[in-house]
Amino acid sequence: MEIEIRRATSADLSAVSSLWQRCYSIPWSDAAIENEINDASSVFLVAMAGGALVGYALMKCAVGEGELCNIAVEPEQRRLGAGRALVSELLRVAKSLGLDVVMLEVRASNDAAISLYENAGFERVGMRKNYYRAPREDAYLYNYYL
Ligand SMILES: CC(C)(COP(=O)(O)OP(=O)(O)OC[C@H]1O[C@@H](n2cnc3c(N)ncnc32)[C@H](O)[C@@H]1OP(=O)(O)O)[C@@H](O)C(=O)NCCC(=O)NCCS
């Protein structure tokens, strides 16, 4: 699959929002997602394949740190490299912005995402007990030092 990674624009809102609502138990409003797309301190990327949006990733940046807040790939397009391409481009942008570290939290049971992050070079640096709800679950904390 030929994958192109580019910055999200408002034109991507409905496709991003649809994927977001299908992948996460606690949804975000379209207004909140659009706010991130237009926020200069956020890096909002989309993965395109065959003219369709197949994934997105959002990193919020502040005081030298990036937080990878959200990443998702269309269920039928997984295991084809889109997730890896999104993380790799986020790390490239983080480096170009001069960030020191990119941080993230992940559900302890999310083997796919944990494997994606560890393969990309993130290091597990901690755990937050019962951090998530719907369902209640621990979070692992990962950092990537640039
Ligand atoms: C996590 C997610 C973004 C991965 O996207 P993807 O496009 O399927 O990932 P890729 O095809 O680029 O895979 C890259 C690596 O991730 C890991 N990976 C991806 N899916 C995996 C799975 N089902 N089981 C184990 N490892 C997996 C592997 O290490 C893989 O490398 P490999 O194919 O060489 O083994 C995708 O599964 C997803 O959208 N999940 C739902 C949303 C989510 O959980 N987001 C993370 C919240 S913290």
Which residues are CB-neighbours of 94 under 8 A, at least 6 positions away? 43, 59, 61, 66, 102, 144, 146
Mean pLDDT lowest among 34-38, 41-45, 49-53, 130-134: 130-134
Of all residues in the chain, the percent with pLDDT exceeding 90 is 95
CA distance 129 to 131: 5
110 C-alpha vs ligand 1 centroid, how far in Å?
9
Take atom 25 of ligand 1 and give the residue whose Cα is closest.
112
Cis amide linkage into residue 135, ω under 30° from 0: yes
The response to whether residue 82 sits with its C-beta less than 6 Å from ligand 1 reads yes
| pTM greater than 0.75 | yes
Q: State how many domains the chain has.
A: 1
Q: How far apart (Å, rounded) are the C-alpha atoms in residues 117 and 144?
A: 9
Kindly state if the Cβ of 115 falls inside 6 Å of ligand 1: yes
- Containing structural domain, residue 72: 4-145
Kindly state the percentage of the chain with pLDDT values over 70: 100
CB 71 within 8 A of CB 57: yes
Least confident range of 23-27, 55-59, 126-130, 138-142: 23-27
| Å from CA of 23 to ligand 1 middle | 13
CATH number of the domain at 96, please. 3.40.630.30
Note the pLDDT of residue 134: 86
pLDDT at res. 25: 82
Listed in sequence order, the DSSP H helices in the chain are: 13-23, 30-38, 82-96, 111-120
Q: Is 105 tagged catalytic?
A: yes
Query: Residue 106 pLDDT more than 80?
Result: yes
At 6 the pLDDT is: 98
At 6, list the tokens: 């580019």
| 131 has catalytic annotation | no
Does position 27 have pLDDT exceeding 90, yes or no?
no
What's the mean pLDDT in 105-116? 97
Residue nearest to atom 44 of ligand 1 (CA): 113
